[in-house]
Amino acid sequence: MNLILASLAVLLAGSTLCLLVPPGGKRAGILGPAIAVLGSVLGIVPALDAMVGAATWQASLPWVIPAGSLAVGMDALSGFFAFVILTVSALAAVYGHAYLSRTGTARRVSASWFMFNVLVGSMLLVVVARNAVLFLLAWELMSLASFFLVMFDGEKREVRRAGWIYLAATHFGTAFLLVLFGLLGIRSGTFDFSGFSALRPEPVFAGAAFILAVIGFGTKAGLVPLHVWLPEAHPAAPSHVSAVMSGVMIKTGIYGLLRFSTFLGAPMPWWGWTLMGAGVLSGLLGILSALAQRDMKRLLAFSSVENMGIVAMGLGFGFLGISRGSFALAFLGFAGALMHVFNHAVFKSLLFMGAGSVLHAAGTVQLDRLGGLSKSMPVTACAFMVGAAAICGLPPLNGFLGEFLLYRASLGAIAGSGAFAGMEGAGLVLLVSLAMVGGLAVACFTKVMGVVFLGEPRDGTAAQAHECPMAMRLPMMVLAAICLLAGISAVLLPGFVEPAVRCVVSGPDAVALAALSLPEGVFSWTAGAGATVLLAAAALYLLRNALLSRRRVDSAVTWDCGYAAPASRMQYTSSSFSAPIVRQFHAVVRTDTTATRLSGLFPSGASFSSEARDVWREHFYAPLFKLFTAMSARARGLQHGRLNLYILYIVLALVALLAWKLR
């Protein structure tokens, strides 16, 4: 407990230290990450303790905040999220030290580190808060800090636009949370979570609260159709911030949803279906949009939408399991979702750091200007490949574990015997959408990996790329190692999520259920298989080296294809690679193409370009906001700029009040 509080104190109080040093100096660039790392390291151990269910505590600190109390606590669920947050944040801070010192905009480095530390501290506070007012304060602090971090390059027009979209979206979500907390507070007469959990709400109230929670927390988590801010804000932020935001900050939405669902009593089937629907929609639309993107960071952001969709599917399946009384399936659903939260945090921050390194080295993340970077940036390419394979859910890596749990849940439900009975339909939906999302994810990340790192440079800057400094390589290597180790030590991992799941599902005899639903034999089998694959790969590599050792090895251009004068333009572009798939989903993913056709026997010039469009933004949000603008334009008549009439409004209001009082 003391260590968590110390960590909070270091992060929140230490952040102000960043403001005391010269804003653009070297000291800010060292002090900021140092505080973030120190604070995170302090908190990681107790978080891990709580996560495995060893140390849970609750305390009310003797300090007053308006209308709330400083109640904090730690259980397995909080511990799980705190562990994820602190691990990724510490690594991102190390990465950011080098990233920010080299980007050239030195003047706001100290402010940026101040906000970064506030962000990490407030995320930790969100998961340990045990009072709604404190939770909301931390939540708002988190949103504002990340907004200012996104605005780091605020002199660019598109960054400012992205920042405002993010600010508007996050406050849209917070508005729903305010109503939710208000409802719960009025009901229970207190804002403490202990009071909330004593609440036994009737179905209508619980249903309304659940909808509010899904909208409020779903906005933060980036579930479709509330995801519009995500593909804007994440690419606009500096890469280490994108890593934290996409890797862990959006997970606080999942945490909130889980935490508040425990206050609402027994879930109803439609809760599960709602979440599963949002999950399927997010998963499919997210990965399809990602496939159509040509900007690496934007693509990663859309892939975050997809992964949060997978998590939401798992949660929905879990809620459905509870409501149907199938605790084994519920357990599997929640465990898969939480597992995926951890995994996604690791590989998505790794991938964003990889994208940051590419940006750092080549000066762009436009896929069609990159290429062949694996030769100049071997470490980054290797780490990125590990992350890409992990996000596709390939077996020896960690991404496989969470999806495997979900697959097992769906297959168990479809088989529908014994403890798994009664959820055939949901199982089928889960299976089909998971398989489809997984397949598209493979296509998507093959595209990124192939276009960015393989082949030949498409552009002069990509040709002059260089490997990034050690402080940027190290966090990526650590994260890649976590991907690999977590995948191989799969036997241990269910034990990691199990206590956290217990916080949400309280089955009749949870111990027996755990044994039932987490078949450890399977995990040792996958771990063994993973290790075998790796060993086999290593053996093949050694064999290749041995075979080639006494022969002459020639190296030639990658895309020769038998032509006399191969050019880098002959390579597949990102859009040509994904076109066959994207075209099939024309209904949901639109791309604009402009082409000049060839004509004549000796055609001179031809061109082709395509641009992915955001269907939701164009066909849902744009008309909606147009409507709002039109409605508020009518009210603009009141804002004419005449001081006299403004005073007249005030006088009229006062007179009306007086007359009303005296009537």
Partner 1 sequence: MMPLVDSVHVLILVTCLLLLGSSRLGACIRTVAIQGIVAGGVLPWVSSLHISMQLLFTGVFVMALKGIVFPVLLSRAMREASASREMSPFVGYGTSLMAGVLFFLASLWLGAKLPTPDGVSGLAVPTACMMVSTGLFLIIARRLAVTQVIGYIVVENGIYALGLAVAHDIPVLVELGAMLDAFVAVFVMGIAIFHINREFDHMDSGRLNVLKG
Q: Lay out the site mask for partner 1 across 614-643 (x = CB under 8 A, - = otherwise).
A: -------------------------xxxxx
Q: Which is nearer to partner 1, 512 or 658 (CB)?
A: 658
- For 367-383, b/e burial (b = at least 16 CB within 10 A) is bbbbbbbbebbebbbbb
Name 366's bridge partners: 295
SS3 for 602? coil
DSSP letter, residue 469: P
Q: How far apart are the first and last CA of the chain?
A: 60
The runs of H, that is alpha helices, within 489-589 are 493-504, 510-517, 520-548, 574-584
644 sits near partner 1 (criterion: CB under 8 A): yes
**What are the DSSP calls for 168-200, one per residue?**
HHHHHHHHHHHHHHHHHHHHHSS-BHHHHHT--
Q: How far is the CB of 632 from partner 1 (least distance, A)?
A: 16
Q: Which is nearer to partner 1, 16 or 629 (CB)?
A: 629
Q: Which is nearer to partner 1, 157 or 663 (CB)?
A: 663
Q: How far is the CB of 162 from partner 1 (least distance, A)?
A: 23
| Tokens 């947050």 found at | 85
Q: How far is the CB of 151 from partner 1 (least distance, A)?
A: 22
On whether the CB atoms of residues 48 and 98 are closer than 8 A, the answer is: no
662 sits near partner 1 (criterion: CB under 8 A): yes
Among 470, 645, 656, 657, the residue binding partner 1 under the rule CB under 8 A is: 645
Cα separation, 479 vs 385, in Å, equals: 12
Tokens of 65: 């905040």
Tokens of 347: 């590989």
Q: How far is the CB of 166 from partner 1 (least distance, A)?
A: 24
Of the candidate spans 169-177, 321-329, 403-411, 645-653, the one that interacts with partner 1 by CB under 8 A turns out to be: 645-653
Q: Which is nearer to partner 1, 511 or 659 (CB)?
A: 659
Q: Which is nearer to partner 1, 550 or 636 (CB)?
A: 636
On whether the CB atoms of residues 31 and 113 are closer than 8 A, the answer is: yes
> What is the size of the binding site for partner 1 (CB under 8 A)?
12
Please name which of 236, 283, 255 lies closest in space to residue 123, comparing C-alpha atoms: 255
648 sits near partner 1 (criterion: CB under 8 A): yes
Please name which of 49, 56, 35, 42 lies closest in space to residue 4, comparing C-alpha atoms: 42
Q: Which is nearer to partner 1, 557 or 651 (CB)?
A: 651
Q: How far is the CB of 164 from partner 1 (least distance, A)?
A: 17
CA atoms within 13 A on the CB side of 156: 13
Q: Lay out the site mask for partner 1 across 48-87 (x = CB under 8 A, - = otherwise).
A: ----------------------------------------
Cα separation, 635 vs 652, in Å, equals: 18
653 sits near partner 1 (criterion: CB under 8 A): no
Q: Which is nearer to partner 1, 266 or 651 (CB)?
A: 651
Q: How far is the CB of 167 from partner 1 (least distance, A)?
A: 20
Q: How far is the CB of 431 from partner 1 (least distance, A)?
A: 56
Q: Which is nearer to partner 1, 620 or 649 (CB)?
A: 649
Q: How far is the CB of 347 from partner 1 (least distance, A)?
A: 47
CA atoms within 13 A on the CB side of 589: 25
Q: How far is the CB of 636 from partner 1 (least distance, A)?
A: 11
Q: How far is the CB of 386 from partner 1 (least distance, A)?
A: 52
Give Cα separations from 656 to 69, 289, 637, 643, 645 (angstroms): 40, 55, 21, 20, 16
On whether the CB atoms of residues 385 and 449 are closer than 8 A, the answer is: yes
Cβ neighbours of 420 (radius 10 Å)? 24
415 sits near partner 1 (criterion: CB under 8 A): no
Cα 539 to its chain centre, rounded Å, is 36
Q: How far is the CB of 640 from partner 1 (least distance, A)?
A: 6
* Residues 133-192 close enough to bind partner 1 by CB under 8 A: none
Q: Which is nearer to partner 1, 2 or 644 (CB)?
A: 644
Q: Give the contacts of 237 (CB within 8 A, at least 6 positions apart).
A: 146, 149, 150, 152, 245
Cα separation, 423 vs 431, in Å, equals: 12
Q: How far is the CB of 350 from partner 1 (least distance, A)?
A: 45
Please name which of 267, 278, 296, 293 lies closest in space to residue 373, comparing C-alpha atoms: 296
Please name which of 234, 219, 112 lies closest in space to residue 162, comparing C-alpha atoms: 234
Among 647, 653, 656, 657, the residue binding partner 1 under the rule CB under 8 A is: 647
Q: Which is nearer to partner 1, 435 or 650 (CB)?
A: 650
DSSP letter, residue 596: E
Task: List phi, psi (to 5°) of 659.
Answer: -65, -40
Q: Which is nearer to partner 1, 157 or 640 (CB)?
A: 640
657 sits near partner 1 (criterion: CB under 8 A): no
On whether the CB atoms of residues 46 and 4 are closer than 8 A, the answer is: yes
Q: Which is nearer to partner 1, 543 or 651 (CB)?
A: 651
Cα separation, 443 vs 392, in Å, equals: 9
Cα separation, 114 vs 117, in Å, equals: 5
651 sits near partner 1 (criterion: CB under 8 A): yes
Q: How many residues does this entry show for the chain?
A: 663
Q: How far is the CB of 634 from partner 1 (least distance, A)?
A: 18
Q: How far is the CB of 158 from partner 1 (least distance, A)?
A: 23
Q: Which is nearer to partner 1, 54 or 656 (CB)?
A: 656
* Residues 296-355 close enough to bind partner 1 by CB under 8 A: none
Cα separation, 556 vs 268, in Å, equals: 62
Residues that bind partner 1 (CB under 8 A): 639-645, 647-648, 651, 658, 662
